[in-house]
Every structure is written in structure tokens, then in C-alpha cells.
Amino acid sequence: MILGKIKSPEDLKELKFEELYELASEMRRRILDIASKNGGHVAPNLGVVELTIALLKVFNPPKDKIIWDVSHQAYGYKLLTGRNEGFETLRQFGGISGFLKRDESIYDAFGAGHASTSLSAALGFAMARDKRGSEYEVVAVIGDGALSGGMAMEGLNQIGYHNNNIMVILNDNKMSIAENVGGMREYLTRLQSAEIYNKVMEDTWDLLGKLPRALSKKTKSAAKKLSEGLKNLIVPNILFEELGLSYYGPIDGHNILELITLLTRIKKIKGAKILHVITEKGRGYKPAEEKPTLFHGIGPFDRENGEPIKEGAKSYSSIFGEAIVEEARKNKDIIAITAAMTKGTGLTAFSKEFPNRFFDVGIAEQHAVTFAGGLAAGGMRPVCAIYSTFLQRAFDQVIHDIALQRLPVIFCLDRGGLVSGDGATHHGAFDLSYLRMIPNIVVMAPRDEVELKRMFKTAVLYKDGPIAMRYPRATIEGIPFPRKITPISVGKGEILRKGGEPLILTIGPIVYKILRIAEEFDDIDPTVVDARFVKPLDEELILNLSKEKDKIITVEDNALAGGFGSAVLELLANNGLKKDVLRMGVPDRFITYGNKEKLLQSIGTGTDDIKEKIRAFTK
Ligand SMILES: Cc1ncc(C[n+]2csc(CCOP(=O)(O)OP(=O)(O)O)c2C)c(N)n1
């Protein structure tokens, strides 16, 4: 075992080339062993094993800063930077994170989870280094998918302009989660296929590489000009060079020797540069090579045959996928937009049935929202299906481009509430708060699959402005569908259990948990309300019930700060009702990773905690 002996990247420096390939195999085995049990980002990690080894051979973190975009592909990096031991706890409560975290390791220069941040962060590091007169290398590793994000473009724009010493590694596997899309993608493919160019690049490399050190400045600059002239001859326009970065590659990202040689050489070149590395997503594990999208992020699976260990029941995402297809068959104006999350948001069936009404815009949530705004202004019924956590990116677009103009865009937010596995970067803990503060918007949350379809129909019929629906990553309740799906009244909640004290106001599928708990008491007889809407609140219902009761409890799968419970408190205060109110939800801190029930317990909202709190508060 070579991997077992690597306690820090220093140990890697001693290894011979042959051992590096053996190490790569061991790393793949370790990643598969653990991810098949715990779930995780399998295909992205298998694709960068050689690149990771080469980077750690050539660079010296923690002094040098290696910044991984998204950082979902950094399992190998973790294995080689002191976290092989304990890797079994990957993505588990109290264990090793599935992403880089500054407080997990000194080797994690910059934390991430959302895409396209690495270039801006790298420029920040390089600028800080140069301003403070420090000496270290700055490397950003960004995938072709992440390069489709607006922030990456903004970063590139500045990196080339300032020309600090930065190395950008473009990890190009042609895939985002699914196949990557867009003009930049097509451009990268053209670059990859420019074989003559590659050849010339190699020759130029040889030429430049062999130039004696002492050569005059003039000769060096002539050689550089020659190289640039040749590039321009064969590939008319190297976009990165136009932006001020020197472009190298494309090279084979699985050839450790070639990677090390090139990285060592390019490292010496001053200024901003980009190395285009071609990798295969899922490399070395057949099921992942064949189904890179499935293996991008996957739950536990059978290591032998690559079959996912099925969760069984359908998810809210899949019900949304059905709802949008059913409505789109009746309404030709419905357009679906996803920011690189077709499968995750349940839009696969829609994309197949209505390819001309489906847009995957890349990892570009801001663009997705404003694009939807234009579509709505142009008379279409756009549906933006975006994970709750990723819509955070487009907060201003929701306000400025949509709500301010009362444009009827439908927002369908998957992964609302805490999610298992990924942690703080991925919880949908803020949407009820960040949406309900915006004027003109309707915000609702279905308690089950039937309500989801009814709410979606409501959204399609609603023309007065934007309307958002959020639902969790969870399996559905198993409620039978009525023959006809009917819309609901905007702003109307529902009493689900008529009882006495306390009055429990809640929203989303958590209402079923509360109903079950309510039935378990012998001596307490709660009234349970599904508010359905966070905005507008069903003021009449809540005020009327609140007047009769002394004790009010709110429960939500959202931040307590500014969320549903806050909305209730504001309503009571605005109407001069002084009541005893207990709010349960996500406290004012970032919540770690782990299985959802564990996470809920950790914030005092596990099933038993809720029961105890209701009892203590009511007595
Ligand atoms: C802002 C944001 N939107 C969506 C995602 C979900 N997401 C995670 S990885 C990924 C694809 C990344 O593709 P690429 O950068 O090419 O890396 P690869 O997995 O192919 O190595 C997406 C869309 C995200 N992390 N952040």
C-alpha cells in the first residue's frame, strides 16, 4: 500500500514515477470503497486522480494555494493531504466533508460547494501575495462546467487584465453534471480538435524550453512572438490569450509524466496562464465511465455492478417533473429552464418531450432568472427549476428583474430545507427568508405530492407576478392523486387537526411529522395548521386561531431568522396580539453535513425533540 504511507504531500515527493501510477489505482479503489457506501461525487473524483497527484508533486501546499472549483472533485486531494485516515467518515455527521473546508485542513485554501468561484478567489490570493510581498504559487482548478458560470467569466476578465502570477488548470471532461452546453463548450471542443495547433505548441515548447537561460531578452521575445504568430496562424483566436492569459495545451490529464513535466515548466513562466487538461469523467470505473451523469453525485451503490441502492419511493423532484409535463401538454407557453441540473430538478422527461421549450443554460443561475424574466415579458410562462441553495446566486435578479417588474415567472425550488450529505453549502435553509422579504412575490410550500401538483397548477394560472414553490429532497408521502388536479386559492392555509392548545403553525411536509406527534399525546390536544403560503400569509386564519389560543408554536425547515415563524411573529405584533410563541427551525448558524435526521437532532428539531418541546411549552 503506497497510499497508506502518504501522511502529507511531502511523502509524495519521494515516490518514483512507476509508484505514482500504483498510487493512482489505490486512490481510485479507496474513493470507490467509501463513496459506494456513503454516496458522493464519484465520477468527478475518479477523473482527476492523476491531475491531483501531479499537482501535489509540483506544488507545495499549504504554502502554495491550490483552489478547487466547487471542490466536489477533491477526494483525491484529501487522501493525499492527511485525510486518508478517517476517509470512511466522508459526508457523515462529524466526519470528513465532501467539499473543501478551511476549518477542516490547512491544505484547504478556499472552501466551496457552489460553482465558479475559484478564479476570483485565486486572483484574491495572488493579489494579496503580491501586495504583501509574499512568495507562493496560486493554482485554480476549474471544470469546463464551472467555466460556464458568470463568476468564472468575471474572474477570467480580471485575471488576464491584472496578469498576476496565477495558474489556471482547466479540467475539461466535456461534462457538467450532464453534457456541458453553450458557446464556450463548443469553443473548447474546437480547441481540443485543433491537432495541428497542438503539434505546433509542442514544437514551440521544445524551442522555448531549450533556449539557454542566458539568451538575450530580444531573442526570447522573438521566440515568444514566433510562438504567438504560429498559434494565430492555425487557430484564429485563442480566447484566453485575448483576455491576457497564456494558453497551454490541451494535454492528456491522465498522463502523470506529461502533467508533471508541463506543470513544472509552466510554473516558471510569469503572469497569468491557463493549462487545458483533458480528462475523462469516471475514469477507471466502468459504470462511471459509461454513466458519468448518474455517477456525478450518487447515493450508496453496489461497487460490483454500479447499481444504485434504490431509495424506493418517488421523490418530490420527480413529482415536479410530472407536474410540469402535465401542464405543458395543455399550455404551449410553458418553458422550462435549468442551470445545469436537468436530472436533479426532475426535468429529464420534460427535456425529452419538449426539447424546444427546454433550456439548460449552464451553471448560470443569474442568467437563468433574467432570461426567464425576458421570456415572461415576451408572453411566455417560464419555469425556473433551481435548487434552493443555488437560487441564492440570483437573489438580485429575482428582485430587480422579476419582482420589481411583476413578471410572472414560476420558481420551483428543489432541495428546500436541510439536505443529507453535502452540508452548509447545499442546505436550502434560507429560501423562505430571502424570498418572503421581496415585494410582489408569492411563496408557497406543498406538504405532499398532491399539493405540489395543485400548487404548480396554481402557479401556472397565476399571472400577477412571480410565484415560488419550495419542496425538499425527500420521498413523497404516498397520498393518492385525485382524478383531477385542481388549483388552490393563493394565500389560503388549512387546518389539518382541529384541537385545543397549542396552536401549531407549520409549512411543508414537516406538517405530517407534527400530525403524527400530535396523535401521540394523551394529555395534549394540539391544533395543527398547514399554512401553505409564507407569502401572503393566511392572515385571517392565523389571527382568528391565535386570538383563541395562548400558546403558539411554529415549525419550519428553514432559518428561524426571517423565516415562516418570523412572518407569524410579525403578523401577531402588527395586530397587537401578545402571545407566547415558540419557534422551531434552523438556528442562526451554518449547519454541517450528515444524514438529515441527525442534522435535525443536532439543532433540536428531531422528532423526539419536537415532541418534548411541545410538551414542555404547553405545560
Ligand atoms: C452555483 C452552482 N450551481 C450548480 C451546482 C451543481 N453542480 C455541482 S458540480 C456541477 C458540474 C460541474 O461541472 P465541471 O465544473 O465541469 O466539473 P466536473 O464535475 O465535470 O468535474 C454542478 C452543475 C453548483 N455546485 N453550484
| pLDDT digit string, tens, across residues 132-142 | 999 999 999 99
143 pocket-lining for ligand 1 (C-beta < 6 Å): yes
Looking at residue 192, what is its pLDDT?
A: 84
pLDDT at 202: 57
- Asked whether 176 lines ligand 1 (CB < 6 A), one says yes
CA-closest residue to ligand 1 atom 16: 145
Of all protein residues, the one whose alpha carbon is nearest to atom 26 of ligand 1 is: 114
Q: What does the pLDDT look like over 439-473, one tens digit per residue?
A: 999 999 999 999 999 999 999 999 999 999 999 99
The protein residue with its alpha carbon nearest to ligand 1, atom 23, reads 340
Residue pair 421/98 in contact (Cβ under 8 Å)? The answer is yes
114 lines ligand 1 (CB under 6 A): yes
145 Cβ below 6 A of ligand 1? yes
What is the pLDDT at residue 291?
97
pLDDT of residue 558: 98
Q: Is the pLDDT of residue 160 over 60?
A: yes
Q: CA-CA distance, 193 to 187, in Å (whole number)? A: 10
**Ligand 1 center from residue 44 Cα (angstroms):** 9
In short, whether 72's Cβ falls inside 6 Å of ligand 1 is yes
pLDDT digits (tens, 9 = 90+) for 316-370: 999 999 999 999 999 999 999 999 999 999 999 999 999 999 999 999 999 999 9
pLDDT of 220 reads: 55
**Could you tell me the pLDDT band of residue 235, with boundaries at 50, 70 and 90?**
low
In testing the pocket of ligand 1, which one of 175, 363, 387, 427 has its CB within 8 Å of the most ligand atoms? Answer: 363
pLDDT above 70 (res 203):
no
Angle at 338 between CA 320 and CA 155, to 5 degrees: 150
Per residue in 247-282, pLDDT (tens digit) is: 998 999 999 999 999 999 999 999 999 999 999 999
Q: Flag whether pLDDT at 204 surpasses 60.
A: no
How far is the centre of ligand 1, averaged over its atoms, from the C-alpha of 71 (Å)? 9
C-alpha–C-alpha distance, residues 458 and 149, integer Å: 32
Distance 268 CA to ligand 1 centre (A): 30
H helices of 269-387, in order, are: 286-290, 316-330, 348-353, 365-377
The finding on whether 36 has its CB within 6 A of some atom of ligand 1 is no
| Binding site membership of 73 for ligand 1 (Cβ less than 6 Å) | yes
Q: How far is the CA of 182 from the centre of ligand 1 (A)?
A: 15
> Nearest C-alpha to atom 22 of ligand 1 is from which residue?
177
Q: Is 146 in the pocket of ligand 1 (CB under 6 A)?
A: yes
Per-residue pLDDT tens over the stretch 552-607: 999 999 999 999 999 999 999 999 999 999 999 999 999 999 999 999 999 999 99
Ligand 1 centroid – CA 547 distance (Å): 49
Where in the sequence numbering do the catalytic residues fall? Answer: 281, 365, 393
Residues whose CB falls within 8 Å of the CB of residue 435, separated by 6 or more in sequence, listed in order: 398, 411, 441, 443, 468, 534, 535
Please determine, for residue 436, whether its predicted confidence score (pLDDT) is greater than 90: yes
Residue 197 in this model has a pLDDT that exceeds 90? no
Average pLDDT over residues 22-49: 98
How far, in Å, CA of 361 to CA of 238, rounded?
A: 23
Q: Using alpha carbons, select from 435, 453, 410 the residue that is nearest to residue 316.
A: 453
- Region for 37 from its dihedrals, namely left if φ exceeds 0, alpha if ψ lies in -120 to 50, beta otherwise: alpha
Q: Which of 108-117, 311-320, 534-543 has the lowest mean pLDDT?
A: 311-320
Q: Residue 211: its pLDDT value, please?
A: 47
pLDDT of residue 228: 60
d(CA 108, CA 252): 26
Asked if residue 170 has its Cβ within 6 Å of ligand 1, the reply is no
Given the CA of residue 72, which atom of ligand 1 is nearest to it?
9
Rounded to the nearest 10 degrees, the angle between the axes of helix 118-132 and helix 150-162 is 30
* CB of 44 closer than 6 angstroms to any ligand 1 atom: yes
- The proportion of the chain whose per-residue pLDDT surpasses 70, expressed as a percent, equals 93
* Ligand 1 and 362: CB distance under 6 A: no
pLDDT category at 193 given cuts 50, 70, 90 is: confident
* CA 274 – ligand 1 centroid, Å: 20
- Cα–Cα distance, 518 to 524 (Å, whole number): 8
Q: 400530525: which residue's cell?
A: 515
368 lines ligand 1 (CB under 6 A): no
Q: Give the burial string for 87-118 (b: 16+ CB within 10 Å, else e).
A: beebbbbebbbbbbbeeebebbbbbbbbbbbb
Which grid cell is 456?
A: 404548480
Nearest to 434 by CA among 371, 377, 368, 390: 390
Q: Is pLDDT at 195 greater than 90 in this prediction?
A: no
Above 80 in pLDDT, residue 234? no
For the chain, give the mean pLDDT. 94
| Average pLDDT of the residues in 521-547 | 98
Nearest CA to ligand 1 atom 11: 176
How many other CB atoms are there within 10 angstroms of residue 523's CB atom? 7
How confident is the model over 62-90, as a mean pLDDT?
98
Cis? peptide before 250, omega within 30° of 0: yes
Mutate to test the pocket of ligand 1, among 41, 50, 70, 116 (most ligand atoms within 8 A of CB): 70
- What is the pTM assigned to this prediction? 0.94
Are 165 and 128 within 8 A, CB to CB?
A: no
**Which of 177, 293, 391, 392 best tests ligand 1's pocket when mutated (most atoms within 8 Å of CB)?**
177
362 CA to centre of ligand 1 in angstroms: 9
Residue 204, all three cell numbers: 514551440
Model confidence at 236, pLDDT cuts 50, 70, 90, reads very low
**How confident is the model at residue 196, as a pLDDT?**
44
Which pLDDT belongs to residue 62?
A: 98
Cβ–ligand 1 contact at 293 (below 6 Å): no
400 Cα to the center of ligand 1, angstroms: 26
- In this prediction, residue 126 carries a pLDDT of 98
Q: How far is CA 353 from CA 21, 314, 331, 577, in A?
A: 45, 20, 13, 52
**What is the 113 CA–ligand 1 centroid distance (Å)?**
9
